[in-house]
């Protein structure tokens, strides 16, 4: 979506629609828009629109107005507001407009919204507007491609950087969503690797792909054990952004990229298994973040590692009770082959640690337990460095992606000890599944390296259409990572 800035006020914009946000019953417009505010209030006075979060309404504008339509979008009440609702409202407004055949939109360059700066508003609203144009129609034979959309921020803008970043991040979201939503037969590890290579070339990143032979030579027994039951070979994809600060240590982002998760020998129930195409969403968030980082040309060097594998119950599949060796030399008793993501991440974290990073952050659709704990309202974050966790939580708040810290007590590490190997991939008691999974991962991060784990199992995709997006991948995590990394240095 093309984002531009115009000095002319919102009421003077000759577009298919102007978008105005409401917080409850209050239209949010900057000073100097009294006439427009009065007109908008009259439209919604007797309408069903009440400014609730995710709610939108479309009205025709009188001939005296240059725009054809008015779209109002709700943020909910002030007491319930968080930044993600602004991005969702912008997406919902554009989505509603696109459904009515519109392609050009305008919104005020700034609004009065408690706790949201002008730059944050432009980033959230611009990025949300871009997300509102997305449709996954690859396999719909009767789909007609809609024309490209545009958005103008109307009025004075102090600094154009936020609008430029919104366009860069919006483009990255739309590009990666097409891969994130592909089913397992269309997105095996090899295809993910090919897409990553093409994306890297287009955005000035370097890309290295380790295949089965290289992974075997390196001793990456975790990811290889996951792929054993599949006809598809595993791939470890390593993307690098050089950055402009040549003296800085790199930040390493690690993403679980299980392209389809049947559970392996520990087979999942058939109901809902089709959604396991989205077990690659940790890697998809890293792919998106790396493209955002490259397009914004951030100073900090960043490495993205995707451990891509398919978990299937073939004749060579890893069995419960098998013992494997990870890249860092630790042995693991595989008690449950459906706890496979942590085996993939074990090798990826080992490789990340060798890069002597400033910090490592991994993202994964790792446990059902996190959904029990937090639902889809937030993702869990755990780690070994409180400063890093605080930064990620703060960046998530700014980016509209909420994180909630869970503890990482020694008790959870004790749960992961095995009678027959160094570790087991399942806790002895079966409780605290999110924390014990993180405790397992911590065993592959050397002391002295700040590390955080983000479990996105409850936030990585939606199973039914929302006002702001269709069913499918959300790419949760990419926004907060871009926010955090762009603030470094």
Residue 48: exposure state from Cβ atoms within 10 A (0-12, 13-18, ≥19): exposed
State yes or no: 194 annotated in a binding site.
Answer: no
Q: Which residues of 215-236 are buried (b: 16+ CB within 10 A; e: fewer)?
A: beeeebbbbbbbbbbbebbbbb
Q: Residue 207 class from Cβ within 10 Å (0-12 exposed, 13-18 middle, 19+ buried)?
A: middle
Distances from the Cα of 482 to the Cαs of 26, 161, 195, in angstroms? 32, 14, 20
279 marked as binding residue: yes
Backbone φ and ψ for 55, nearest 5 degrees, come out as -80, 140
Q: Among the options 66, 103, 146, 268, which is catalytic?
A: 268
Please indicate if the annotation marks 120 as binding a ligand: no
| Strand partners of residue 409 | none
Instruction: Compute the distance between CA of residue 259 and CA of residue 237 in angstroms, rounded to an integer.
Output: 13
Antiparallel, parallel or unpaired: β 104-108 and 150-154: parallel
Question: What are the tokens at 277?
Answer: 């195409």
Identified catalytic residue from 295, 342, 402, 479: 342
In sequence order, the 6+-apart residues with CB closer than 8 A to the CB of 414 are none
For residues 436 and 426, give the distance between their C-alpha atoms in angstroms, rounded to a whole number: 8
Do the annotations mark residue 256 as ligand-binding? yes
Residue 78 marked in a binding site: no
Backbone angles phi, psi at 131, to 5 degrees: -60, -30
Distance CA 67, CA 104 (A): 10
Residues listed for the chain: 489
Known catalytic residue at 268: yes
Clarify whether 342 is annotated catalytic. yes
Q: Rounded to whole angstroms, how far apart are CA atoms 484 and 213?
A: 35
Candidates 421, 426, 468; CA nearest to 91 is 468
Contacts with 79 (C-beta within 8 Å, 6 or more apart), sequence order: none
Please give the positions annotated as active site: 268, 342
Residue list, annotated binding site: 256, 261, 279, 338, 340
Residue list, annotated binding site for Mn(2+): 256, 261, 279, 338, 340
């Amino acid at each position: 979506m093309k984002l531009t800035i115009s000095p002319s006020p919102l009421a003077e914009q000759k577009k298919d629609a102007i978008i105005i946000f409401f917080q409850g019953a209050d239209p949010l417009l900057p000073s100097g828009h009294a006439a427009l505010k009065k007109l908008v209030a009259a439209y919604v006075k007797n309408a069903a629109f009440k400014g609730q979060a995710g709610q939108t309404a479309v009205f025709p504008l009188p001939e005296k107005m240059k725009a054809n339509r008015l779209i109002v979008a709700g943020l909910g009440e002030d007491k319930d507001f968080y930044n993600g609702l602004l991005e969702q409202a912008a997406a919902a407004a554009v989505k509603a407009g696109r459904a009515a055949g519109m392609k050009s939109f305008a919104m005020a360059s700034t609004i009065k919204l408690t706790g949201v700066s002008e730059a944050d508003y432009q980033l959230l609203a611009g990025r949300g507007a871009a997300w509102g144009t997305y449709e996954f129609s690859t396999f719909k034979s009767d789909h007609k491609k809609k024309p490209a959309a545009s958005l103008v921020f109307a009025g004075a803008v102090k600094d154009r950087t936020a609008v430029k970043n919104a366009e860069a991040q919006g483009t990255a979201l739309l590009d990666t969503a097409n891969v994130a939503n592909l089913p397992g037969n269309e997105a095996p590890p090899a295809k993910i690797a090919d897409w990553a290579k093409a994306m890297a070339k287009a955005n000035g990143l370097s890309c290295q792909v380790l295949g089965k032979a290289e992974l075997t030579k390196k001793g990456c027994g975790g990811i290889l054990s996951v792929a054993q039951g599949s006809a598809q070979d595993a791939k470890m994809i390593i993307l690098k952004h050089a950055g402009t600060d040549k003296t800085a240590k790199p930040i390493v982002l690690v993403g679980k990229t299980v392209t389809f998760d049947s559970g392996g020998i520990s087979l999942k129930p058939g109901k809902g298994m089709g959604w396991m195409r989205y077990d690659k969403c940790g890697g998809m968030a890293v792919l998106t973040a790396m493209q955002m980082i490259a397009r914004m040309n951030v100073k900090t060097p960043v490495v993205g590692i995707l451990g891509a594998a398919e978990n299937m119950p073939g004749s060579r599949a890893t069995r419960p009770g098998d013992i494997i060796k990870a890249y860092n030399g630790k042995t693991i008793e595989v008690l449950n082959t459906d706890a496979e993501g942590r085996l993939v991440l074990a090798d990826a974290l080992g490789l990340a640690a060798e890069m002597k990073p400033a910090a490592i952050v991994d993202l994964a659709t790792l446990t059902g337990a996190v959904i029990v704990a937090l639902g889809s309202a937030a993702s869990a974050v755990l780690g070994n460095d409180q400063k890093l966790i605080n930064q990620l939580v703060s960046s998530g708040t700014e980016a509209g992606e909420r994180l909630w810290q869970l503890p990482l007590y020694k008790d959870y590490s004790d749960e992961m000890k095995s009678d027959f190997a160094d570790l087991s991939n399942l806790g002895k008691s079966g409780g605290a599944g999110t924390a014990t999974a993180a405790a397992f991962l911590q065993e592959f991060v050397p002391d002295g390296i700040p590390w955080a784990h983000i479990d996105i199992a409850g936030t990585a995709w939606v199973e039914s259409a929302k006002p702001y997006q269709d069913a499918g991948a959300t790419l949760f995590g990419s926004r907060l990572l871009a926010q955090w990394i762009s603030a470094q240095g």
